[in-house]
Amino acid sequence: MMVRRCRADFNECVAAIKRRIEEGGATVFAVIDHSRNARDAGLALDDDVVIIFGNPRAGTILMQLDRRMSYDLPLRVAVWRGEDGATYIGYRMPSDVAREHGVSHDVVGKMDEFMNWVLNGLTEEATNEDGAGGDH
């Protein structure tokens, strides 16, 4: 997984990612709010969401080539507040996922371009500091 530090605060980052996904013609299928779920369970967790998104036309092509791709689709981006207070974005490039499944198709490159476009301007260079906290 790629981890990048976001230039914006947590709420701005989440809103910007969702807005860019929709502006680019993809669909936000769900936002899993891990911190809210933790609170509901009586536990504490700093801000942490997963945005699940994609384009069924692109994803279906890959699933037609190898049904195991359905495990890794739709695409997702994790956004969390690290122990240092910074916001981090974690994601996997579609080409890395496709390569793991031995899938090759022109649509994968377009999906990579889309992922880069969505995150463009929001993140700093890749970092070894993942803000994950704990043992990992």
Where are the chain's structural domains? 2-120
In one-letter notation, the amino acid at residue 109 is G
What topology does CATH give the domain 2-120? Answer: TATA-Binding Protein (3.30.310)
By the 8 A CB rule, do 80 and 48 touch? yes
Return d(Cα 34, Cα 78) in angstroms, integer.
Answer: 10
Instruction: With H, G, I as helix, E, B as strand and everything else as coil, classify residue 102.
Output: coil
- Say how many CA atoms lie within 13 Å of 74 toward its Cβ: 18
Q: Which residue has the tokens 């801000």?
A: 47
Q: What is the pLDDT of residues 30-80, one digit of tens each?
A: 999 999 999 999 999 999 999 999 999 999 999 999 999 999 999 999 999
In one-letter notation, the amino acid at residue 70 is S
- Entry pTM: 0.90
